[in-house]
Amino acid sequence: MQQVFFNDLGIMDYQTAWDLQENLLQYNLQKKAATPGILADTRHHLLFVEHPPVYTLGKSGKMEHVLISEETRLQKGIEFFKINRGGDITFHGPQQLVGYPILDLEKIYTDIGRYLRSLEEVIIKTLLEFGIKGERSPGETGVWLDASLPGKERKICAMGVRCSRWITMHGFALNVNTDLSYFDHIVPCGIAQKSVTSLEKELGYTVDLFSVKEAVKRNFSLVFGITLVNSPVVAG
């Protein structure tokens, strides 16, 4: 089994976490340049983090999906970033579990579609442990509830990734006890007329975030066939 270095960053601002991901990606790209392919001395990482309120717009996103004025956004203390992942606009905030896998897919499988389906499977298995049936929605990345029932579809986990020479970054955002009112100011993931939800909203009580993290770690290891190793040092 391949090892993936795990680190829970706690609460961290978006720019700092983005810079950290970029550093880890560049480290792996340098290793690939020295020794290409599966022999490269690259390192797999999985980072967990909670961000202060922030909207992020992917490279294929549209500014018209931002429904809040800059003045109001600043008054509410919400940051905004245009970033280099796929997808449109989403929200990150407290009590949302954000996961950033930095993986060398050449050592796993070179198939981005399969990688995204695997990330979805991790979340689907996690939700099932809490009695929630997560589903895929054809043509739409992420994990949904009641995906096949028009008018009842709601997204519980958004996903967007970047891949450079088969090194991944960015990842998933699972709404646990997230304040969903922040989504009222955007068109989440660019998908109009579909709502968002959280574990808390679906279950009717505040969910222990630690237990969600442990379930995601367990299912990530299972789906990807890897071993997670706790690592206080995440770079270099």
Catalytic positions: 189
Measuring CA to CA, which residue among 152, 204, 156 is closest to residue 180? Answer: 156
CA distances to 16, 46, 76, 172 from 232, in Å = 16, 12, 33, 22
CA distances to 18, 92, 102, 107, 171 from 24, in Å = 10, 21, 7, 16, 14
Task: Return the bridge partners of 171, or none.
Answer: 160
Task: Return the bridge partners of 168, or none.
Answer: 163
| Alpha-carbon span 86 to 161, nearest angstrom | 6
Is 103 in a helix, a strand, or coil?
coil
CA distances to 22, 123, 124, 129, 173 from 215, in Å = 26, 9, 11, 8, 15
Query: In 57-208, which ranges are continuous DSSP H helix?
Result: 70-75, 112-129, 199-203
Is 3 in a helix, a strand, or coil?
strand
Asked if residue 171 lies in contact with residue 100, where contact means CB atoms within 8 angstroms, the answer is yes
